[in-house]
Amino acid sequence: MIHKHTLIEATMAGAAIMKEYFEKQYTISSKSSLNDLVTEVDHKSEEAIFNIIKSHFPSHNILSEESGQVIQDSHYKWIIDPIDGTINYANGIPICCVSIGLERNGIMEMGAVYNPFLGEFFFAQRGFGATMNEKKLHVSDTTELSRSCLVTGFPYTYLDAPNGPLQIFEKLVRKGIPVRRLGSAAIDLCWVAAGRFDGFYEHKLQAWDSAAGFLIVLEAGGKVTNFVGDEYDHYQPGIIATNGKIHDSLVSLVNGGEVK
């Protein structure tokens, strides 16, 4: 249970930093592109998270969005996004969160996602289900893609390729299917787990974006794969996460098919 307690404590510590600096003055800079932002608060949240994890498990590996990898001789790896939805955060939009996953021997074992502004704490442990604020989660029962409510995101550097983000988005919108874009992949995944969305797809994610969220979807009874429908690997960029019932239809669509 110490892993769970540490995960929760670290997630709460990062979220406390988010709340402390929200809508206050802090430094903001760009990373890979003009709008790929990192803030002073990202680094402060990351530091708070690191301090908790290292105090309990100094020998564990860490992969974090802002600091990269800390590689040690351990079966465990903490995968951290100190603020998922940084652009939202920097603009005072309270759709952002801390996301932390715990991997053991390459398998995601636990995940936590916390949006302190909505007061929603999502948690999953492999084989034990998923919860929001300690209440059991379950994915939606929608059976048709044409009747679904979906969510997606777009990369900062656009992928100019067949069946790219805009092409898929256009297909869905032309059929009148609602597609939302919240700006936080971790929250997107948790809201699929909670049944608020029927499905989520995105072309280009990093491990820290999805590590916790994809396990939460699975443990809530959903299905998560890569773009061709094979088992999801959080170190690969493409993801499709659904309630399971519309999954094959969404996989077909992102591979050039039509809305069914």
Over residues 203-237, the pLDDT tens digits come to 999 999 999 999 999 999 999 999 999 999 999 99
Both 193 and 71 in one domain: the answer is no
Residue 91 is assigned to a structural domain of this protein:
yes
Say what angle helices 165-174 and 247-254 make with each other, to 10 degrees. 120
Q: What is the pLDDT of residue 53?
A: 97
| CATH code of the domain covering residue 191 | 3.40.190.80
Token pair of 76, please?
A: 């465990």
Please say whether the beta carbons of 20 and 47 come within 8 A. Answer: no
**What does the DSSP assignment read for 35-103?**
T-EEEHHHHHHHHHHHHHHHHH-TTSEEEETTTEEE--S-SEEEEEEEEE-HHHHHTT-S--EEEEEEE
**One domain for residues 170 and 230:** yes
**Residues 80, 50: Cα–Cα separation, whole Å:** 9
Map residue 233 onto helix, strand or coil.
coil
Domain that holds residue 222: 145-254
DSSP annotation of 147: G
Same domain, 124 and 172: no
Question: What share of the chain has pLDDT > 70, as a percent?
Answer: 97
Stretches where the chain sits below pLDDT 70 are: 31-37, 159
The secondary element (H helix, E strand) that includes residue 126 is none
Maximum distance among all Cα pairs of the chain, rounded to whole angstroms:
52
CATH of the domain at 90: 3.30.540.10
- Sign of CA pseudo-dihedral 32, 97, 67, 46: positive
**How many Å apart are CA 155 and CA 153, to the nearest integer?**
7
Are 71 and 175 within one domain?
Answer: no
Q: Which of 136, 162, 183 lies at the terminal end of a domain, its last residue? A: 136
> Domain boundary residue among 93, 119, 136?
136
pTM score of the predicted model: 0.94
49, 153: one domain: no
Q: Are residues 110 and 191 in the same domain?
A: no
Among 76, 105, 136, identify where a domain stops. 136
What is the DSSP code (8-state) at residue 131? E
Tell whether 118 and 241 lie within a shared domain: no
Nearest-angstrom CA–CA distance, 197 and 174: 19
- Domain check: are 102 and 165 in the same one? no
Q: Which H or E element spans position 136?
A: strand 135-136
Domain for residue 51, yes or no? yes
Structural domain tally of the chain?
2
- pLDDT of 37: 66
Phi and psi torsions of 169, nearest 5° = -60, -45
In a domain, 259, yes or no: no
Q: Tell whether 159 and 226 lie within a shared domain.
A: yes
* Inter-residue contact 198 to 98 (CB < 8 Å): no
Domain identity same for 170 and 107: no
| Nearest residue to 243 (alpha-carbon basis) of 214, 218, 222 | 222
